[in-house]
Homo-oligomer: A and B are copies of this chain.
């Protein structure tokens, strides 16, 4: 049975703009989200590439409220809400669900390492129980290279079995296609499997996946969505190769500063360069090299 509230397609972990005093800039974020929606890309605000874990829960709640007040479509929103502390995760997730966000993307608690599947299961069960909302839709966020804590296939299956209406998908940012493929082969009922990079988008669609949630969707949204829409077309491999070329050009630099430098360049708004510590801005030399690389590929961000 298909649950029409479940998401598919291409989503962007939207980069978060900061003012000079390093406070989040809601106005610029609203504008960026509206542009991404105009490119048919959904809004995984507060992802890793959003510097979400450099923001307090209160800052994230304030930004969510501002987005919703501005009329940004909650049916396209999947904010990241997984924190280290159970109580923080519950507070932020409940707020997102109450605002009507279509889903939340949930990291496991990531400070303590080497924790058991049993402990992660207990954490998710407690979060779901405390929120107690029929409307809650959780997409698991598997990103072991950064969080260091992740979801085994058996843990995912146990969560789906216990919470079939709530645990509805996953973002696999393992960087390991074999892991995504192994999940797809389990054929969990209507479970939405997003790859964490568009470099696996075509492979994912061919095996029944739901789409991708990718850093590069911040800068190359329309082309990524086009492959999602036309993955069965004759030119799909050519499209994939073109997406990879853009991605590899950006990925040659530290990802988040590179994304922000690109948005700054193509929106002609230098304020976008700013990151929060512990990240540092891309230095001008590297930024110039990145822009030269992108312009050499006739890269554009139309409408930004």
Most chain B CB neighbours (cut-off 10 Å) among A116, A148, A149, A276: A276
- In the bound assembly, the distance between CA atoms of A201 and B278 in angstroms comes to 32
Q: Which of A81-89, A190-198, A235-243, A291-299 faces chain B?
A: A81-89
Whether the Cβ atoms of A278 and B119 lie closer than 8 Å is: yes
Is residue A269 contacting chain B, with contact meaning CB distance below 8 A? no
| A158 CB → nearest B CB, Å | 14
Of B108, B111, B147, B280, the residue contacting A53 (CB under 8 A) is B111
Asked if B87 and A56 sit within 8 Å, CB to CB, the answer is yes
Asked if residues B122 and A280 are in contact (CB atoms below 8 Å), the reply is yes
Chain B residues near A48 (CB, 8 Å)?
111-112
Whether B22 pairs with A119 at a CB distance below 8 angstroms is: no
- Asked if A54 CB lies within 8 Å of chain B CBs, one says yes
Query: Out of B53, B91, B145, B149, which one reaches A278, CB within 8 Å?
Result: B149
Q: Are A119 and B85 in contact (CB under 8 A)?
A: no
> Does A110 reach chain B (CB closer than 8 Å)?
yes
- Are A122's CB and B85's CB within 8 A? no
Q: What is the CB-to-nearest-CB distance from A22 to chain B, in angstroms, rounded to a whole number? A: 7
Judge if A176 is at the interface, Cβ distance under 8 Å.
no
Contact with B along A113-125 (1 / 0, CB 8 A): 1011011101100
CB contact under 8 A between A56 and B57, given known A122-B280, A123-B277, A278-B119? yes
Q: Which residue of B lies closest to A110 (CB)?
A: B111
CA gap between A118 and B281 in the complex, in Å: 11
A34-80 contacts to B (CB < 8 Å)? 48, 53-59
Contact among B56, B57, B116 for A280, CB-based, below 8 A: B116
Whether A9 is near chain B, meaning CB under 8 Å from some CB there, is no
Are A112 and B146 in contact (CB-based, < 8 A)?
Answer: yes
* Contact between B277 and A109, CB atoms less than 8 A apart: yes
Neighbouring B residues of A276 by C-beta, 8 Å: 86
| Residue in A58, A91, A146, A278 whose Cβ sees the most chain B Cβ within 10 Å | A278
A55 CB, min distance to chain B CBs, angstroms: 5
Closest Cβ of chain B to A277, distance in Å, is: 4
List residues 87-105 of chain A with CB under 8 A from any CB of chain B: 87-88, 91
B55–A115 contact, CB under 8 A? Answer: no
Name the 9 nearest CB pairs between A and B, nearest first: A53-B111, A123-B277, A119-B278, A122-B277, A115-B278, A53-B84, A56-B87, A109-B278, A56-B85
Residues of A within 8 A of B (CB): 22, 48, 53-59, 84-88, 91, 108-113, 115-116, 118-120, 122-123, 126, 145-149, 276-280
